[in-house]
Amino acid sequence: PVDRSPEIQEARLKLPILAEEQVIMEAINENPIVIICGETGSGKTTQVPQFLYEAGYASSDGTIGITEPRRVAAVSMSQRVAKEMNLSNRVVSYQIRYEGNVTDETQIKFMTDGVLLKEIQKDFLLSKYKVVIIDEAHERSMYTDILIGLLSRIVPLREKKGLPLKLIIMSATLRVEDFTNNKKLFSVTPPVIQVDARQFPVTVHFNKKTPLDDYSGECFRKVCKIHRMLPSGGILVFLTGQAEVHSLCRRLRKAFPFQKTNTAGGDDDKEESVEEMRKFKKSRRQKKVMALPKIDLDNYSVVPVDEGDEDRDAETDDDMAGSDIDLDLGDGDSEEDEKSDSSLPLYVLPLYSLLAPEKQAKVFRLPPPGTRLCVVATNVAETSLTIPGIKYVVDCGKVKKRFYDKITGVSSFRITWISQASANQRAGRAGRTEPGHCYRLYSSAVFMDFEKFSAPEITKRPVEDLILQMKALNIEKVINFPFPTPPPTEALAAAEELLIALGALKEPPMTGRLKQQLAAKLSCPISPLGRIMATFPVAPRYAKMLALSRQHDCLPYTITIVSAMTVRELFEELDRPAVSEEEAAELKGKKARFLQMQRIWAGQGPMQKLGDLMVMLGAVGACEYAGCTRKFCEGNGLRYKAMLEIRRLRGQLTTAVNSVCTDAGLFVDPKMKPPTEAQATYLRQIVLAGLGDHVARRIQAEELLDDKWKNAYKTALLEDPVFIHPSSVLFKQLPEFVVYQEIVETTKLYMKGVSAVEPE
């Protein structure tokens, strides 16, 4: 019996999935595996665990587990469900990589997909679960795909043991053929339950012209127009990255300042003058706020291309009275929008995955009275979180993604067009509570050129970490694994070769081409070293470094360096374009301070040769010494959230190392001394052992055939010149041999995380 509050009861009854409770529970009772499809916001994530709980699926000896591809969702959904059920977070809990609040009493457990994969390694049958729900399966994250493959085998095994496990796969789209039309995966096709979401119609407005690059500016102008001219209702803007999100937030706050109280500082604007107040009243009187057109509530329309708004020509003006109102706001700019207008307060909130959880949670609360909510988000708002009260969506049509070269692993962040499926998901965010509007900042012709769906992650990135995890599960012939969509063979082969080189897999007992051929068959078993490496929750290259660090008391340093390399993005982006002169000056000051600190962190003597890795070590050391405070981080160009994550990962790796070598007796020392000269030298060897395939040699003067090779390095894998990234402390020194953490392609191929090494 669940004791829900009346408000929660009422809100629940509005969710479309509630009408399907019986159908869903019957399907689950009668089938080991069930697929549930329903639009974002229909109630899958919050309600299905409750249905199961009420039907008695959770007990003292069996938990309901739910996996999410994003940490944000795991945390916020566990809190929401606990609240809805009026249960404590000791019972409805979460576990993500670095933290969790799971207890002995936990009966509903939200976790990231990576966490469940680790649990399968400890207990292949997942005996403590009665039900496993794989949520957001449409996102096709790599771990979600693998989990589905593994669970397709675990479910029958549990059946045989007489301890049946239920598997529920939930997806926001109906595109589930990779799961249903895949006999290798599920020999009996699982039933698919479709939840008919009551989605209100969303009118889609395409731009006539597609802005070439300034989509942020176009977003700004569109939000201004919506806010000035259209009736109340929240605005959700989709941009591609954190820097863009912040800069748009700042511009919007400037244009439509909102003051909490006279004293609540922090917001960008000064007090309004009486004069401004008078102007406001006047402008309010002049402005005619448009009413929304009547729209058929049974019909959710993503306007077909040929009926788009492109032929309409409505520059919205004050004379928009009448019944046939056109909400197409037109493209293009108008100077007037930039002017600050404090009469129309806009409550602007950023939302992206690296944002602190307490700031993320703000989007779920009601905006202050008299203001309009405007959430400026990255892709996280596309499906995992439902923001209440959104009526207008502004979609730039782009997404920032990391692309990897299948063989070399070279990665680049690219901003690309989204898929049609994503665009429709984004549009759908506008129609949750009432009819809405989606403004696409691209033309319908451009939309027609989008790919239909985005490719599953597993087909797009290196898979060495995945392969090591699978081998640790004694899946030797990876190629036979029931992947929903298999990764490309060349990616599998590259992973197998790397793992052999790292000593994580047993080398085939021959040499040369035959050996390569065998590796290409992808059937090498895991080695004892590989088993140890697989227990560390980091990439295999870094796991190797940890496994090698016992001598010379190097472990605490390796753990710190590996944590920093794993968390990534330690340093604040100070080269970002500023939106105002004040900000430009602030950034300049911060940058100068950071460069100074970077020199200090880089150390002296042999330490300096560790290069960027020494900077990471020094930065983490200094930050911990200062108590890891927000203030220290902000004052020294460090990202506070990254530093907290590094702290947690250090703790986790320290525990993992202690359990492998029981005599190590390690602990996380907040006052860690810098390494000695001998240790620094040894650390470079450790780093080289992990990054052995990431060595680069500077081009010698006599090899300099072409100017493009000036200051360049040559690597084993790439034809093209690579360079030390300008942010590296070794940028000017140009050591003869270096190892790098990764190569990122921007205008050139740049090495990041660089250390100097000596030739043997």
The single-letter DSSP state of residue 604 is S
C-beta of 170: minimal distance to ligand ADP in Å? 7
* Cα gap 607→614, rounded to integer Å: 7
Task: Give the binding range for Mg ion (CB under 5 A) out of 36-44, 282-290, 603-611, 726-734.
Answer: 36-44
Q: Does the protein bind Mg ion through residue 386 (CB under 5 A)?
A: no
Q: Which two tokens stand for residue 483?
A: 């992947």
Virtual CA dihedral for 426, 642, 360, 134, nearest 10 degrees? 60
Question: Which one, 41 or 190, has the nearer CB to ligand ADP?
Answer: 41
Question: Which one, 198 or 641, has the nearer CB to ligand ADP?
Answer: 198
For the segment 196-255, give every residue that binds Mg ion (CB under 5 A).
none
Question: Which one, 173 or 411, has the nearer CB to ligand ADP?
Answer: 173
Q: Give the side-chain half-sphere CA count within 13 A for 29.
A: 10
- DSSP secondary structure letters along 727-756: TSTTTTT--SEEEEEEEEESSSEEEEEEEE
The entry of Mg ion, ligand ADP, none near residue 15 (CB within 5 to 8 angstroms by kind) is: ligand ADP
C-beta of 364: minimal distance to ligand ADP in Å? 4
Number of residues that bind Mg ion (CB under 5 A): 2
* Cα gap 418→330, rounded to integer Å: 22
Task: Give the binding range for Mg ion (CB under 5 A) out of 38-46, 142-150, 491-499, 569-577.
Answer: 38-46
- DSSP secondary structure letters along 38-62: E-TTSSHHHHHHHHHHHTT--BTTB
Question: Which one, 377 or 616, has the nearer CB to ligand ADP?
Answer: 377
Closest Cα to residue 72, out of 435, 352, 486? Answer: 352
Question: Which one, 433 or 733, has the nearer CB to ligand ADP?
Answer: 433
Q: Does the protein bind Mg ion through residue 45 (CB under 5 A)?
A: yes
Q: Is 665 left (phi over 0), alpha (psi -120 to 50) or beta?
A: left
The entry of ligand ADP, Mg ion, none near residue 699 (CB within 5 to 8 angstroms by kind) is: none
Task: Give the binding range for Mg ion (CB under 5 A) out of 24-32, 40-48, 102-110, 292-300.
Answer: 40-48
The entry of Mg ion, ligand ADP, none near residue 422 (CB within 5 to 8 angstroms by kind) is: none
Question: Which one, 38 or 540, has the nearer CB to ligand ADP?
Answer: 38
- DSSP secondary structure letters along 138-179: GG--HHHHHHHHHHHHHHHHHHHTT---EEEEEESSS--HHH
C-beta of 74: minimal distance to Mg ion in Å? 11
Question: Which one, 79 or 107, has the nearer CB to ligand ADP?
Answer: 79
Bridge-based pairing of strands 436-440 and 411-417 is unpaired
* Cα gap 680→688, rounded to integer Å: 12
C-beta of 385: minimal distance to ligand ADP in Å? 7
Contact positions toward ligand ADP, by CB under 6 A? 15, 38, 40-47, 76, 80, 364, 386, 388, 432
Percent of residues in the chain assigned helix, strand, coil, to nearest 5: 40, 15, 40
Question: Which one, 47 or 199, has the nearer CB to ligand ADP?
Answer: 47
Place of tokens 């939106």: 579
* Cα gap 387→671, rounded to integer Å: 43
* Cα gap 343→372, rounded to integer Å: 12
Helices 142-160 and 113-122 cross at an angle (nearest 10°) of 40
Question: Which one, 43 or 397, has the nearer CB to ligand ADP?
Answer: 43
Helix (H, G, I), strand (E, B) or coil at 342: coil
Question: Which one, 71 or 432, has the nearer CB to ligand ADP?
Answer: 432
Question: Which one, 349 or 491, has the nearer CB to ligand ADP?
Answer: 349
C-beta of 669: minimal distance to ligand ADP in Å? 38
The entry of ligand ADP, Mg ion, none near residue 388 (CB within 5 to 8 angstroms by kind) is: ligand ADP
* Cα gap 269→426, rounded to integer Å: 32
The entry of ligand ADP, Mg ion, none near residue 391 (CB within 5 to 8 angstroms by kind) is: none
Question: Which one, 84 or 331, has the nearer CB to ligand ADP?
Answer: 84
Q: Does the protein bind Mg ion through residue 67 (CB under 5 A)?
A: no
The single-letter DSSP state of residue 326 is -
Bridge-based pairing of strands 695-698 and 737-745 is antiparallel
Strand partners, 403: 412
The entry of ligand ADP, Mg ion, none near residue 499 (CB within 5 to 8 angstroms by kind) is: none
Strand partners, 37: 171, 194
C-beta of 44: minimal distance to Mg ion in Å? 5
C-beta of 351: minimal distance to ligand ADP in Å? 13
C-beta of 387: minimal distance to ligand ADP in Å? 7
Burial of 358 (0-12, 13-18, 19+ CB in 10 A): exposed
Asked if 571 and 638 touch (Cβ cutoff 8 Å), the reply is yes
C-beta of 176: minimal distance to Mg ion in Å? 15
Q: Which two tokens stand for residue 605?
A: 């003597």
C-beta of 275: minimal distance to ligand ADP in Å? 41
C-beta of 623: minimal distance to ligand ADP in Å? 32
Helix (H, G, I), strand (E, B) or coil at 550: coil
Q: Which residue is nearest to Mg ion (CB)?
A: 45
Question: Which one, 109 or 372, has the nearer CB to Mg ion?
Answer: 109
Task: Give the binding range for Mg ion (CB under 5 A) out of 7-15, 41-49, 95-103, 435-443.
Answer: 41-49
C-beta of 204: minimal distance to ligand ADP in Å? 20
Helix (H, G, I), strand (E, B) or coil at 64: strand
C-beta of 173: minimal distance to Mg ion in Å? 12
* Cα gap 284→643, rounded to integer Å: 47
Residues that bind Mg ion in the complex, under the rule CB under 5 A: 44-45
